[in-house]
């Protein structure tokens, strides 16, 4: 079992930055790939970014590539999403998720555990 708790969301102006954190419980965190997804009101959940078990491989949605960076600290059981140059269209609830496969994955079905989400609002 892995429990995930996101933090770091909030209100920011367009062009600003936020860093989301996702703290995981359990001794096997380092075995999991981690992903970030987001869901805007009235829209389906969409993939944002993923990092493999070691942190050595990452993959991003085209919409955030070059602006967002995901990383992890396996000693702290935490994964991060650094979001720069934020746009109003980045407004959504952001979720972290854990995949037992260990490899980067962009499909929600690859993830077994999900956090409760943290809200990000970008004003224009």
Beta-bridge partner residues of 37: 47, 95
Q: How many helices (H) and strands (E) does the chain have?
A: 0, 11
The proportion of the chain whose per-residue pLDDT surpasses 70, expressed as a percent, equals: 100
Between 12-21, 81-90, 103-112, the lowest mean confidence (pLDDT) is in 103-112
The proportion of the chain whose per-residue pLDDT surpasses 90, expressed as a percent, equals: 94
What per-residue confidence (pLDDT) applies to 101?
83
27 pLDDT band, cuts 50/70/90, is: confident
What per-residue confidence (pLDDT) applies to 3?
95
Q: What is the mean pLDDT of residues 72-78?
A: 96
Q: Work out the burial of residue 60: count CB atoms within 10 Å of its CB; fewer than 13 is exposed, 13-18 middle, 19 or more buried.
A: buried
**CA 68 – CA 55 distance, rounded (Å):** 15
What per-residue confidence (pLDDT) applies to 100?
93
**CA 17 – CA 25 distance, rounded (Å):** 27
Mean pLDDT of the chain: 96
Taking residue 10's Cβ as centre, other Cβ atoms within 10 Å add up to 13
**CA 124 – CA 39 distance, rounded (Å):** 19
């Amino acid at each position: 079992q892995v429990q995930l708790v996101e933090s770091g969301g909030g209100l920011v102006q367009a062009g600003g930055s936020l860093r989301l954190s996702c703290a995981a419980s359990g001794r096997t965190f380092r075995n999991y790939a981690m992903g970030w997804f987001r869901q805007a009101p009235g829209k389906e959940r969409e993939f944002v970014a993923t990092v493999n078990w070691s942190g050595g491989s990452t993959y991003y949605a085209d919409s955030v590539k070059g602006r967002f960076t995901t990383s992890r600290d396996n000693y702290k059981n935490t994964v991060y999403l650094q979001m720069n140059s934020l746009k109003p269209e980045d407004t959504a609830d952001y979720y972290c998720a854990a995949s037992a496969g260990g490899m980067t994955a962009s499909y929600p079905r690859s993830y077994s555990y999900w956090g409760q989400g943290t809200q990000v609002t970008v004003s224009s």
